[in-house]
Structure 1
């Protein structure tokens, strides 16, 4: 007489699904704090001119030479809060920044007010919102690495310029105040091609600073 025995499956101590290791989330108070910090830094960075120095290995021969980049720290603040606070905090800080500027506070480069939507550079300011979101989403996917933070900043910067160029196209090609295709090309060169290489210096600076701070803060 044979007895059929059913194979018993080993019981797992924890039936819950393992949490993904590459998800790193900040608590709501931390996100809110970083949103406030990002707002303050963006407003302050709008009026502070960024500078760079010559290469460190040249300091012994030439000394420290300060080179003005002729751009502000505005975009650096946007990318920094993305790397440190994540997508929600970064995007929230820029939404508040845009709204405060549109209601009349002189926190944009040329002032503020609802009429600022007709400025050619307003599209780049709008681009702070998706740019900050993308940078924050990529930056907090895993533990801080210099390469991943630099890639996050670069993607955020690219989104800012993409939004700005799209806004320029709308003003020049669809709006009655537009001047046509040649004017659009000139504006793209003036506001994107001219500034993008200089803003890469800010990407490097923000990446290194964020990497050091996140290592200190253990996330």
Structure 2
């Protein structure tokens, strides 16, 4: 019970909610790393996933590659990345991008594969080009699953970004966990974990609402495209 009460006391201390080491500043850092990481990974994975889903080519390679990337040990990749890029934010971003690519890639090609082939054939019969079919038919229909991949990648990065604080340089909410463990300050560790969990739940809720909004508006989008 002492850890719980100390954690509540830690969270209620105004000193922990101001300055460079305060929760708001660390939270902004964490969101910044997450946003940058997901943006870079999406720019790489989603176009490739859409191409795979549209053409059906290299799907087996994509599945194997995604599985291999998911199996990579985060701390090991972070350590090796630090050896090549130097200790700092570059190594952390590189590691997190590798971990964010699989769900984004899978969401993109799985989303397009879920589209009824008869709908695609009908679009071709109407004289649409392959690019028009992709952008006006397949992507609107696949958007909920694509967003699902984005949701999965974001939540994974939010959770895994705490490990990036293992190396000097990156800040974020992970500092509470790493520094707390180093100092045996368990209330700080628990408090940091609680903030990360709350952040993940809030982001998850936002993506759930976004997916529902897309699902509700999807029929109108498809009718316009058709």
Q: Rg bigger for which structure?
A: 1
Relative contact order (alpha carbons < 8 A, sep ≥ 6): 1 or 2 greater?
Answer: 2
Shorter-chain TM-score: what band?
Answer: 0.3 to 0.5
TM-score (norm 2): 0.36
Higher strand share goes to which structure?
A: 1
Higher helix share goes to which structure?
A: 2
